[in-house]
Chains A and B, each alone.
Chain A
Amino acid sequence: QQQVKQSPQSLIVQKGGISIINCAYENTAFDYFPWYQQFPGKGPALLIAIRPDVSEKKEGRFTISFNKSAKQFSLHIMDSQPGDSATYFCAASNRYTSGSRLTFGEGTQLTVNP
């Protein structure tokens, strides 16, 4: 119940295209859903996050779509650039566990071809 399932495992997109990464969860106690970007040799960097009372959040080229009834959320990267090539992780945290314990998806390796 604490799992977050992420797909696809890898994704190749042409420059200027749209990258879409999907995540699904089971635990309805999750109340915060961040996305992280990780480059080789670096720690995860927070990209954008959403709470379940909102269906969509946009920051620049990055948009989270959230479907509470389906228990799914997705990251859309518009106008994808080669510099976006990285591993992306969705995550979730549970309001009933004390503090801020993130449960991560398995990751999506995104390659944007020039």
Chain B
Amino acid sequence: DAGVTQSPTHLIKTRGQHVTLRCSPISGHKSVSWYQQVLGQGPQFIFQYYEKEERGRGNFPDRFSARQFPNYSSELNVNALLLGDSALYLCASSFPGSTQPQHFGDGTRLSIL
């Protein structure tokens, strides 16, 4: 069975640009969450979507937005990129609920020049 898939795997952008990252969840999973992992740190929660609605948002500026599609795939958008946005962006999928295990993709490595 396919796990969580993310695209692209690597991306290089310059300051001020916009980026879109994509995620396909495990088949049957309707909840998708996005995390940012800065080098040497644990992942930080950005968003959670379930049934196409935002169910939670972490402490990130409005430059970050996301959406979920009818097939439960999701995309994360970041506007006006800053050097500090350089990180590994991880997508996780799960069944809904706080005690359901989340399964992560291998992420998109975003580098801002």
Give the interface of A toward B (CB within 8 A).
Answer: 6, 31-32, 34, 36, 41-46, 49, 51, 89, 91, 93-95, 97-107
B70 → A minimal CB distance (Å):
19
Of the candidates B42, B55, B58, B103, the one having the most CB atoms from chain A within 10 angstroms of its own CB is B42
Partner of B56, one of A91, A97, A107: A97
- Complex CA gap A95/B4 in Å reads 24
A-B contacts counted at CB < 8 A amount to 79
In residues 10-68 of chain B, which contact A (Cβ within 8 Å)? 31, 33, 35, 40-45, 48, 50, 55-56, 58
Q: Answer whether A100 and B42 are a contact pair too, CB < 8 Å, given A44-B104, A46-B102.
A: no
- Complex CA gap A83/B100 in Å reads 27
Q: Answer whether A100 and B106 are a contact pair too, CB < 8 Å, given A31-B98, A43-B90, A93-B98.
A: no
| Chain B residues near A43 (CB-CB < 8 A) | 4, 90, 104-107
B97 at the interface (CB under 8 A from A): yes
B91 → A minimal CB distance (Å):
8
- Complex CA gap A44/B106 in Å reads 8
Are A89's CB and B42's CB within 8 A? yes
Q: Answer whether A44 and B96 are a contact pair too, CB < 8 Å, given A99-B50, A101-B45, A107-B42.
A: no
